Structure 1
Amino acid sequence: MRNRNWHILREEGDLGPVITLTRERPARLDVVAETDLPPGDPIRLAHQIRQDMWRVLQSMRGFSPVVRLTATAAGWRVAAGGRVLGKIPPATAGQIQALLENQSKRSRWVAQANRRGGQK
């Protein structure tokens, strides 16, 4: 499935769906950071995280964002990062992790994911 040039890949995991948002297929996580988020619409969560991650890493040559959400008992396990064509700067995973731990961004992502009845 495609949404405005983004592939939305759906698989079934142990506890429910696994949703991957990627520009290029196959999705590849050359650099990645992870966090847990509460339930909400996974597509909205993925797009919000992808947009903010792009804002942080858009100057990295050859970067293509990937966000994977895996259903858990408490909500979603998020793996955010992406494909990098070329050398990965050493601080990149830390930058993504800092983004995922930013409380104001997390609050906004969750609020957007729960707008108009968005659910897991």
Structure 2
Amino acid sequence: MARSHWHVLRDEQGLTLCREKPARFDVSVQTVLPDGNPLRYAHQIRQDLWRKLQRVRGFSPVVQLTRGADGSWQARVGGRASGPVPASIVDSIEDLLSDQTRRARWARHAATATTRQM
């Protein structure tokens, strides 16, 4: 059975999902997501981000969710890179985060569990 090697770093504001500690953003893009389970959001976004950027050598996804004042989630999505970061990575992350089909799937998945759970 496969083991998860992902770190879930929790604090009073939210959580960060990363492969390597400490979490580091060499590149990132931000968006706002509706209320839902933050861990479920983080895993779904991380999976889609990895699928999109898996050919970028040395890239490790990081997803950080922070609770907004209105109950929404402020998502910072990006990751760590072991070398120079091509400018196209930012465009790829922006495309991912603006994809309405994916956003709807993430929200459905995050709503299937207790939304206030962290």
With normalisation by structure 2, the TM-score equals: 0.92
Corresponding residue for 2:107?
A: 110
Larger fraction in strand:
1
Name the SS for the 1:20 alignment partner.
strand
Q: Which amino acid aligns with 1:82?
A: G
Distance in 1 (CA, whole Å) between partners of 2:115 and 2:60 is: 27
Name the SS for the 1:80 alignment partner.
strand
Corresponding residue for 2:45?
A: 49
Distance in 1 (CA, whole Å) between partners of 2:111 and 2:14 is: 18
Corresponding residue for 2:7?
A: 7
Q: Which amino acid aligns with 1:77?
A: Q
Give the share of equivalent positions with the same residue, in percent. Answer: 48
Corresponding residue for 1:90?
A: 87
Distance in 2 (CA, whole Å) between partners of 1:11 and 1:4 is: 20
How far residue 118 of structure 1 moved from its aligned partner, in angstroms, is: 2.8
Per-residue Cα deviation, 1:48-92 (whole angstroms, up to 9, x for no partner)? 000000000000000000000000124100000000000111111
Structure 2 unaligned runs (5+)? none
Name the SS for the 1:25 alignment partner.
coil
Distance in 1 (CA, whole Å) between partners of 2:33 and 2:22 is: 25
How far residue 11 of structure 1 moved from its aligned partner, in angstroms, is: 1.3
Cα RMSD after superposing both structures: 1.1
Runs of 4+ in structure 1 off by over 4 angstroms are none
Alignment: residue pair count: 113
Structure 1 unaligned runs (5+)? none
Does 42-51 or 90-99 show the bigger shift? 90-99
